[in-house]
Structures are given as structure tokens and as C-alpha cells.
Amino acid sequence: MKIQSHHIFIVFWSLVSILIIVSLLYKWWKQRKQKELQVVHISIRFWWLMVGIFLIAVIIHSRLSVAFFGLISFLALKEFFTLIPNARAHRRVLFFAYLAIPTQFYWIYIKWYGMFIIYIPVYMFLLIPFMVSLTGDSHRFLRSVGSIHWGLMLMVFSISHISYLFILPPSSEVNYEGAGLLLYVLILTRVNDTAHFLIGRRWGRHSLASPQTKTWEGFTGGMIVTISMSYLLAPMLTPLNAIHSLFCGFILSIGGFMGAVNISSLKYDLGVKPEELIPGHGGVLSRLDSLMFNAPIFFHYMHYFYY
């Protein structure tokens, strides 16, 4: 099924209109319930950021937008490396980790799927421990190697799948199919996060993932909302049929939850304060936690069934 460009812009501008209304209501309400609306403010900011990401990616030529997402990967990886402890000698290896970013996105630019899919999982997996060994410092060897490669997998490899959505399939100078898929996964990921948080805060009673304050009620409610939204948006933004759209919402709700829990656990382990785990408040990682998992899940789901 061919994605029509006007469907994409209908969904996009509907989202913008809703955000404008919600932002104005927030301005009106914040004088009365400033503390209670703090999280709402953070959520609204993230929604606007998501709109900006989509707008930039669509306005720029699909090939050039690859560099934009490469920049996002760089910012996420940089924040990650500032959090994790590394032996001083091993910090020299970070240069090669950063160098993997332009290389990974270059494979996307030239549409070399085979190298794109194995470069970081295989070749950087082999290169990083070798470069660490050359430093001559075996202190914290395993921790350094594991943390550097884990960061590359999440902040670069996972996020790079978003860029490849613009390459599958190349249809015109402005790849409306890729834009539709991007908007679809961004909306579903953020809807799942928002619904999970709001439902869990209002009705959450049974803990699911402590100490991240995740609840079964929030997880279940977020899943129902995400599946419903997936079914409604799929005909306008994707080639997904009804059954595939329902299952896509199901796996994205699980993937988004996994991403949020993993990044939260990382920050707890590193001693980041609990308040910094509020979505959108802890930097780039908090803004991209769910998307890091959903990007490859959605990409491979689409690639398997439709490309």
C-alpha cells in the first residue's frame, strides 16, 4: 500500500494543533498547580522536540537527514561516556568509539545494508577490546570494553535504524514513505511513555520494575493505548495491515518499556538522583531511552514483512 503524502501531513499538523492547545492550557494552569504540572511541562517539551526532529528530517533531503541523526547519536554517546567510569588510559579508545558514528551512518548513506547491520555488532566488538589491550592497562579491562561497546550498540547502532527508514524504500527526492514510518514510530513511542506514566501515577498499585516506580497498571494501560493508536495511524502512515498494526503496537509498547527501564537502571547504578529519571529531565539519554529499543524493533519488523 502506497503511503500518501497528504496523510502524513494531516497527522503531523493534527499533532501540532493538539500540542499548541495543550501548551496554552498548561500556561493557564501552571499558576495554580505548579508542582503537579512539572512533569506535564517536561512531557510537552519532549513532544515539541519530537515534532522538531520530524520536521527537520522531512525538510532536509532524506540522504542529508542521515547526518542529523548521526549528530543525535553523538550527543547521546557523549552523555553516556561522561557518566560511566573508565580507566584513564582506556579513555583514548573513546576516539575510535566516536569514529564509529560517521562510519555507521556512512553505510546508511550509501545503502550498504550488509555492513550497516554488522559493523558495530561484529567489527567494533572485535576492535574495541584490541584497542584497549594496546593501552597496556588491564585495570577494569572488562568493564571498559563492555561499557564502551554497550554504549555503541544503544546510542549509535540502535538509533541509526531510524535513519535507514528514509532509505527503505527510495521513492522520490522527498521520501514520504520514510517520513511516514518515522512519524509513526515517534508518535507510538512517545504515546506509550506518556500513557504508561500517567496511568501508572493515577492507578498504579502493583510494582513491576523497582526502583524505577514502574507498575503493572501503567504498563498494561500504556500497552492498550499504544495498540489502539497503532491501529488508527497505520493506514495513514505505514503499509501495515490491520493484524500487523495491532502486533506492532504490542511489541513497541514492550520495547519502549524495556528501553526506559534499562536507562533508568543505568542511572541508578551510576548514582544519578531519582528526580533526574523523570522523562525529559535527565538529558539526551532520558529523551531517547524508549526510542533506542523501539528503533531497531520497528525497523526489523517492517523490513521482514514489507521489504
DSSP string for 28-50 = HHTTT-TTTTHHHHHHHHHHHHH
Question: How far is residue 44 from each of residues 38, 168, 188, 223, measured CA to CA in Å?
Answer: 10, 30, 15, 21
Instruction: Encode 14-24: b = buried (16+ Cβ within 10 Å), e = exposed.
Output: ebeeeeeeeee
| Number of structural domains found in the chain | 2
- Picking from 250, 245, 262, the residue whose alpha carbon sits closest to that of residue 223 is 250
Residue 124 has a CB neighbour count (10 Å cut-off) of 23
Q: Are residues 177 and 274 in the same domain?
A: yes
Angle between helices 141-151 and 65-83 (to 10 degrees): 150
Q: Are residues 68 and 53 in the same domain?
A: no
CA distance 235 to 223: 19
Q: Are residues 307 and 205 in the same domain?
A: yes
- Picking from 83, 81, 90, the residue whose alpha carbon sits closest to that of residue 156 is 81
Q: Are residues 21 and 154 in the same domain?
A: no
Q: Are residues 293 and 305 in the same domain?
A: yes
CA distance 171 to 168: 8
Q: Are residues 49 and 180 in the same domain?
A: yes
Q: Are residues 118 and 198 in the same domain?
A: no
Q: Are residues 54 and 69 in the same domain?
A: no
Structural domain ending residue among the three candidates 102, 136, 165: 165
Domain range for residue 287?
A: 1-59+173-307
Q: Are residues 181 and 234 in the same domain?
A: yes
Query: What pLDDT is recorded for position 85?
Result: 75
Query: What pLDDT is recorded for position 116?
Result: 96
**Burial (CB count <10 Å: 0-12, 13-18, 19+), residue 6:** exposed
Structural domain ending residue among the three candidates 110, 132, 165: 165
Q: Are residues 199 and 151 in the same domain?
A: no
Q: Are residues 54 and 75 in the same domain?
A: no
Structural domain ending residue among the three candidates 130, 165, 200: 165
**pLDDT per residue of the chain (307 residues) written in tens, 0 to 9:** 445 566 666 776 677 777 677 666 666 556 555 544 555 556 666 666 667 766 766 666 666 778 888 988 998 999 898 888 765 656 778 989 999 999 999 999 898 999 999 999 999 999 999 998 888 777 778 888 999 999 999 999 999 998 898 777 654 434 456 778 888 998 899 889 888 888 888 787 777 766 556 788 889 999 999 999 999 999 888 889 999 999 999 999 999 999 988 888 888 777 765 444 444 345 778 778 899 999 999 999 998 888 7
Q: Are residues 203 and 303 in the same domain?
A: yes
Query: What pLDDT is recorded for position 263?
Result: 86
